[in-house]
Amino acid sequence: MSQPIEVDLPHQLGVAAARQRIEGGFGKLADYVPGGHVAEHRWDGDTLHFIVEGMGQRIAVRLEVAERNVHAVFDLPGFLAMFAEPLRQKLQKDGPKLLE
């Protein structure tokens, strides 16, 4: 059973600029998982879907880009659920750097 983590990242960029910055840096989110890398990604409108693989696990990630906010959803597999809260805290602290 997966453990979703949801984080909102406020910004003042507008959708187009936020998408551009995310496109240039979303791969850094894979660094949150030891040995992690982005296995696949695709845009669906203003939502970026990607898979991070690491530690023998696959994490589905969705970044929904809006005018003043990016809503991030990480679906952690059961094995990684114990890391949900520390990961949420790290995302809230470091996630806005994606939009710089």
> Regarding the domain delimited by 3-99, which CATH topology (the fold level of the hierarchy) does it fall under?
TATA-Binding Protein (3.30.310)
What does the block give as tokens for 71? 């809503």
Please give the chain's pLDDT, 100 residues, in tens: 567 899 999 999 999 999 999 998 888 888 877 788 999 999 999 999 999 998 888 999 999 999 999 999 999 888 888 888 888 898 888 888 888 8
Nearest to 32 by CA among 78, 79, 74: 74
